[in-house]
Amino acid sequence: MELIDKLSILADAAKYDASCASSGAPKRSSRGKAGLGSSDGMGICHSFTPDGRCVSLLKVLLTNFCLFDCQYCVNRRSSNVPRARFTPEEVVRLTLSFYRRNTISGLFLSSGIIRSSDYTMEQMIQVARSLRETHQFRGYIHLKAIPEADPKLLEEAGRYADRLSANIELPTLTSLKTLAPEKELGTIHSAMGHMRQRIDAANDDARQDARHPVRSNNPKRQAPRYAPGGQSTQMIVGADATDDRTILQSAQHLYRDFRLKRVYYSAFSPIPERPAGLPQAAPPLLREHRLYQADFLIRSYGFQAEELLNAPGNLDLEIDPKLAWALAHRNDFPVDLNRAEPAMIARVPGIGLRSVQRLIDLRRLRRIRYQDLVALRCRLDTMRPFVITQDYRPADANLDSTRLRQSLTAPQPAQMALW
Amino acid sequence: MNPDSSSMAPRIAHARDFDEWRERARRLLMAGVPPPNVTWRDGDDSHDDLFSSPPASVKPPSSREPSSTSIRIGREQLALLRNAARYRSGKGEQARWPLLYRVLWRWVQGDAAATHPADADGRVLHQRWHAVKREAHHMHAFLRFHRRDDALGERYVAWFEPAHDVLDLGAEHFADRMGGSPWLIATPEGGVHWNGSTLDYRFPCPAAWTTEARTAAERANADEDHALWRTYFVSTFNPARLNHKVMTQHMPQRFWRHLSEGDLIPSMEAKARHGGQRLAQESSVGQRKGKALPPGRLASHRPPPASDD
């Protein structure tokens, strides 16, 4: 099979993994050195496909032959899809060629499980090793960690990769049992635990190095790095009956226990030859979007999953989770922007983290006025009922939440044509 | 020098770049010239410049160095001014130098809010800095190198049309990224060449560079790996999630023309709208002969998976 045919099959097979981030890598440069590639912690999206997703990495499977039979997966062994397998050299060649043309910032390599978990993991490591050692490639590498593989192999993978990820896919034991019979939640968790320990230890060493810099520039004298971009995972949304509350609690647990950098949510995409038991239609992409919003509130705004959803069920599709929380907690509002703690200002719908910092900076200089919120481009329509400034108090502060919600979600009256 | 009398006279000051502006602005500030009395002009004109200088500064500026200590602005403020100056003002927008001078004037007068994003001037500066950062990022992301390999050796060339003055920000990035590989970037304004160890900037861009970059882009199809990249782009797209709005938000249409994959986008969208949207799989992959695998056994210490079919 020609390389171009393999590429079309193995890229198509890899698209179900939502992650394509190239962020979080340490600063590396190839200026004045042999080899190729740089990273500076910021990811780069080199293109966007018409699905609105970023193309940052060459995202392919090493092979889509697979011994597993996960029902939601297009590459399950019982699925009648075309199969292909790259040699490690082919993946290396594609990565370097695309990188030089500035179409990608690195490689995200995953694979179907062939022969054994260890064998598959070794094959992926071989690609990363060749890129890093033979070609001195300093771009981004994200490797899929196979939870069942020998911990020694995960150890080695972390030496070459900027990020490792083991996918949870389904957040509950029962769903995993019915839909992914060969996967075990316990094994996935223990692999994540192992990776967390190695990442933490490497970060401690890196901090030591920063405090007492090694005189030599030889990287071998410095503490070895282990997946400096951290680890991530993915959960499929809408392939089973799991609700958003369970998904978010599970994500929160992963952030806390394994210090994951990111949890990705992937709305189940309809695949060819759908097995019985899987939904016919994809869940609304809006549901996936709301989960990302809630996830961001948990990671960066100090919200708990239980605050965003205090009973079993799904997030409100009509309004975003921050507005939903504010409407359910009217007693905490309106917030006086000249007095409130930063953490409370961050909870006002329509005010983002950057605006919080700017408001705090501004009130050291002078009192905050309503016009400042206009200048800072806060979402005024959403925010108006929830804030107090030096010259402004909301007139609708006493309006009950149901009516306030109606007024916030009412469609804008369309201008009439020629009265 | 007598600032009280000379500061009220109208001045014309020229600046080609930020460092020139900074030097002129420093002298004007020390002469106490308020912003409304200065007419700033882009570019270089040594004749006009005679009028711009206050009488006392006929002496070389270096001889007056000590008094410069009186004008101090923070590192952050300087970075804001320097980067906002890279913004190319559109029609009806304020020109860069008068805006910068007014903010600097206010700052030196003790008005610290002048650089805050909620301030009328500070807001414009921050918006400009944001636009500049975004354009530098666009250059890092959407510039495409084409491989050339002839008598001159292997090298990578690109044509790019930045909306603001970010050529150097891009060049530094690509010097880190490409290491020893020589490359050339040509733009409508300037060009830059990297020989593997140093950057060579030219303003305006030499015609030969422009031709080389244009030719390479036109002959892209001669490069086998160009087709591989286009195949990848089509295959990684999920037609079941078509989302035109998000794509164009992140990747404005003005860049498509020079992307190796840009011309594929309209047909991919059309195909997805007309039936391809049913499945996530790319239709050409679905047309290939499939292969279900027999229940296998993992060659490891794990118990064999339960057969379920």
Q: Where are the domains of chain B?
A: 3-134, 143-222, 224-284
For residue A115, give the DSSP letter.
Answer: S
CA distance B42 to chain A (A): 29
3-state secondary structure of A20: coil
For residue B256, pLDDT over 70 is answered with: yes
- Cα–Cα dist A264/A231, whole Å: 11
3-state secondary structure of B158: strand
- Asked if B118 reaches chain A (Cβ–Cβ under 8 Å), the answer is yes
Q: Which of the residue ranges A243-247, B28-32, B45-49 would you say has the lowest mean pLDDT?
A: B45-49
Q: Is B179 in contact with A36 (Cβ distance < 8 A)?
A: yes
- Cα–Cα dist B239/B270, whole Å: 10
> Per-residue confidence at A171, pLDDT binned at 50, 70, 90?
confident
Residues B88-107, mean pLDDT to the nearest whole number: 94
**A11 Cβ neighbours under 8 A, 6+ residues apart:** A59, A60, B231, B232, B235, B236
Interval B276-289: pLDDT, tens = 667 888 888 888 88
Higher pLDDT, A407 or B1: A407
Strands B11-15 and A106-110, by their bridges, are: unpaired
Q: Which two tokens stand for residue B161?
A: 């049309």
**Do the beta carbons of residue B13 and residue B97 sit within 8 Å?**
yes
- Cα–Cα dist B135/B141, whole Å: 10
Residues A127-140, mean pLDDT to the nearest whole number: 97
- Cα–Cα dist B35/B73, whole Å: 17
Q: Is B238 in contact with A68 (Cβ distance < 8 A)?
A: no
Q: Is A49 in contact with B247 (Cβ distance < 8 A)?
A: yes
Q: Output the average pLDDT for chain A.
A: 90
Q: Is B292 in contact with A100 (Cβ distance < 8 A)?
A: no
Q: Output the average pLDDT for chain B.
A: 85
CA distance A401 to chain B (A): 31
- Asked if B195 reaches chain A (Cβ–Cβ under 8 Å), the answer is no
Measured between beta carbons, the chain B residues lying within 8 angstroms of A30 are 176-180
Q: Give the nearest chain B residue to A375 (CA atoms).
A: B118
Q: Is A100 in contact with B229 (Cβ distance < 8 A)?
A: no
For residue B53, pLDDT over 60 is answered with: no
Minimal Cβ distance to A148: which of B116, B233, B302: B302
> Per-residue confidence at B64, pLDDT binned at 50, 70, 90?
very low
pLDDT for the residue B51: 47
Whether pTM exceeds 0.95: no
What is the set of domains in chain A, with CATH numbers?
3-211+223-272+283-308 (3.20.20.70), 321-409 (no CATH)
Positions of E strands within B216-291: none
Measured between beta carbons, the chain A residues lying within 8 angstroms of B158 are 102
CA distance A53 to chain B (A): 7
Q: Give the nearest chain B residue to A4 (CA atoms).
A: B228
Minimal Cβ distance to B290: which of A37, A82, A358: A82
Place of tokens 């007693």: A331
Higher pLDDT, B305 or A313: A313
Q: Give the nearest chain B residue to A118 (CA atoms).
A: B300
Higher pLDDT, A222 or A292: A292
**Do the beta carbons of residue A393 and residue A333 sit within 8 Å?**
no
Q: Which two tokens stand for residue B146?
A: 């084409």
pLDDT for the residue A281: 73
- Cα–Cα dist B230/B239, whole Å: 16
> Per-residue confidence at B54, pLDDT binned at 50, 70, 90?
very low
Q: Is B282 in contact with A8 (Cβ distance < 8 A)?
A: yes
- Asked if B119 reaches chain A (Cβ–Cβ under 8 Å), the answer is yes
Place of tokens 């997966």: A73
- Cα–Cα dist B153/A12, whole Å: 35
Write down the ipTM of this complex. 0.91
Q: Which two tokens stand for residue B122?
A: 């500070």
Place of tokens 């004109």: B45
- Cα–Cα dist B300/A117, whole Å: 7
Interval B66-81: pLDDT, tens = 444 467 788 999 999 9
Measured between beta carbons, the chain A residues lying within 8 angstroms of B309 are 69, 78
Measured between beta carbons, the chain B residues lying within 8 angstroms of A146 are none
Measured between beta carbons, the chain A residues lying within 8 angstroms of B252 are none
Q: Which of the residue ranges A155-164, A267-276, B55-64 would you say has the lowest mean pLDDT?
A: B55-64
Q: Is A50 in contact with B292 (Cβ distance < 8 A)?
A: no
Measured between beta carbons, the chain A residues lying within 8 angstroms of B233 are 47, 49, 55
For residue A36, pLDDT over 50 is answered with: yes
Closest Cα partner for A262 from A286, A229, A288?
A: A229
Q: Which two tokens stand for residue A176?
A: 């995993």
pLDDT for the residue A413: 59
**A3 Cβ neighbours under 8 A, 6+ residues apart:** A90, A94, B228
Chains A and B form CB pairs within 8 A to the count of 247
**Do the beta carbons of residue A242 and residue A175 sit within 8 Å?**
yes
Residues B22-29, mean pLDDT to the nearest whole number: 93
pLDDT for the residue A274: 77
Measured between beta carbons, the chain B residues lying within 8 angstroms of A44 are 137, 140-141
pLDDT for the residue B279: 81
Q: Which two tokens stand for residue B152?
A: 């001159």
3-state secondary structure of B205: coil
The pLDDT > 70 percentage for chain A reads 95
pLDDT for the residue A273: 76
Closest Cα partner for A229 from A62, A34, A19, A60?
A: A19
**Do the beta carbons of residue A257 and residue A302 sit within 8 Å?**
no
Q: Is A271 in contact with B279 (Cβ distance < 8 A)?
A: yes
Residues A249-278, mean pLDDT to the nearest whole number: 89
If contacts are CB pairs under 8 Å, which of residues 126-185 in chain B contact chain A?
137, 140-147, 156, 158, 173-181
Q: Which of the residue ranges B73-77, B218-222, B245-249 would you say has the lowest mean pLDDT?
A: B218-222
Q: Is B260 in contact with A101 (Cβ distance < 8 A)?
A: yes
Q: Is A69 in contact with B295 (Cβ distance < 8 A)?
A: yes
Cα distances (angstroms) measured from residue A202 to each of A42, A198, A225: 20, 6, 6
Minimal Cβ distance to B145: which of A16, A102, A118: A102
Measured between beta carbons, the chain B residues lying within 8 angstroms of A285 are 241, 243
Give B56-63's long-range contacts (Cβ < 8 A, gap of 24+): B56/B1, B56/B6, B56/B31, B57/B1, B57/B27, B57/B31, B61/B23, B61/B27
CA distance A14 to chain B (A): 7
Q: Is A365 in contact with B146 (Cβ distance < 8 A)?
A: no
Q: Is B232 in contact with A30 (Cβ distance < 8 A)?
A: no
Q: Give the nearest chain B residue to A17 (CA atoms).
A: B236
Minimal Cβ distance to A30: which of B145, B178, B234: B178
Residues B214-232, mean pLDDT to the nearest whole number: 89
Residues A178-184, mean pLDDT to the nearest whole number: 88
- Asked if B274 reaches chain A (Cβ–Cβ under 8 Å), the answer is no
Higher pLDDT, B4 or A59: A59
- Asked if B286 reaches chain A (Cβ–Cβ under 8 Å), the answer is yes
Measured between beta carbons, the chain B residues lying within 8 angstroms of A77 are 292-296
pLDDT for the residue B280: 82
Measured between beta carbons, the chain A residues lying within 8 angstroms of B272 are 50
pLDDT for the residue A401: 85
Cα distances (angstroms) measured from residue A296 to each of A301, B44, B203: 7, 50, 45
Minimal Cβ distance to A33: which of B179, B225, B279: B179
Q: Is the previous residue joined to B295 through a cis bond, with omega within 30 degrees of 0?
A: no
Measured between beta carbons, the chain A residues lying within 8 angstroms of B282 are 8, 12
Measured between beta carbons, the chain B residues lying within 8 angstroms of A272 are 279, 281, 286
Interval A324-376: pLDDT, tens = 999 999 999 999 999 999 999 999 999 999 999 999 999 999 999 999 999 99
Q: Is B180 in contact with A80 (Cβ distance < 8 A)?
A: no
Q: Which two tokens stand for residue A116?
A: 């054994």
pLDDT for the residue B96: 95
Q: Is B250 in contact with A48 (Cβ distance < 8 A)?
A: yes
Q: Give the nearest chain A residue to B285 (CA atoms).
A: A9
CA distance A5 to chain B (A): 9
